Amino acid sequence: MVSNEVDFPSVLGYDSLQQFNLMNAEQEYLTKEKFEELKKELEQLKTVKRKEVAEALEYAKSLGDFSENQEYQEARDSQAILEDRINRLESILKSAKIISIQSANIVSVGSIITVEKGSDKSRKSYTMVGSEEADATHGKISIRSPLGLAAMGKSKGESFSFETPSGMMSYKVIDIK
């Protein structure tokens, strides 16, 4: 059975792709390890990095005229980038849902899946993760990616397809762990 529609079984708690997108627009799915890594990064940014940027800003201020002070402008830019990252991490951690593998029978967040590409029968394994944790080079794909969205809720042996810029792609779920 090839389907363009993602079927979300009740175990995932969603009736449709639209409901999934609406309910999870701000929700981030993280493994416990990634959650802890982001907490450590946030703590380091708030304590160590903020102090470094504040010191650089104070030094740049001491140089005088702000309008032509390149060091001051760079320090302000660094401060803005730092605060943006801190805000992003706080938002992610606030809305994070820690994932654990719920079922080896259907593809869900945390599943390790092996899929077979329809066109050439090549096989690849992926871990289904949240956007923040996605890293295709290490086999971690986002559940919000085209492949991830199409695979969600599928069972072993089930086929699915999705649209890409280079055309329609078809896959079959070979294994779920």
Sequence ranges of the domains in the chain: 10-24+100-176, 32-97
pTM above 0.85, yes or no: no
Q: What distance in Å separates the CA atoms of residue 91 and residue 95, rounded to the nearest whole number?
A: 6
Fold entry, domain 32-97:
Helix Hairpins (1.10.287)
Band of pLDDT at residue 141, cut at 50, 70 and 90: very high
Average of per-residue pLDDT across 16-45: 75
**Band of pLDDT at residue 50, cut at 50, 70 and 90:** very high
Say how far apart CA 99 and CA 164 lie, in whole Å.
28
Question: pLDDT at position 10, please?
Answer: 37
pLDDT tens digits, 53-92: 999 999 888 887 777 788 888 999 999 999 999 999 999 9
pLDDT for the residue 97: 86
Q: Does domain 10-24+100-176 have CATH number 3.50.50.60?
A: no
Q: Using only C-alpha atoms, what is the Rg of the chain?
A: 22
| DSSP three-state, residue 48 | helix
Percentage of the chain beyond pLDDT 90 is: 54
Tell me: pLDDT of 105 over 80: yes
Backbone angles phi, psi at 103, to 5 degrees: -155, 140
| Residue range 99-117: mean pLDDT, rounded | 84
118 pLDDT higher than 70: yes
Closest C-alpha among 147, 142, 155, 145 to residue 103? 155
- Per-residue pLDDT for 8 more than 70? no
Task: Using pLDDT thresholds of 50, 70 and 90, give the confidence band for residue 26.
Answer: low
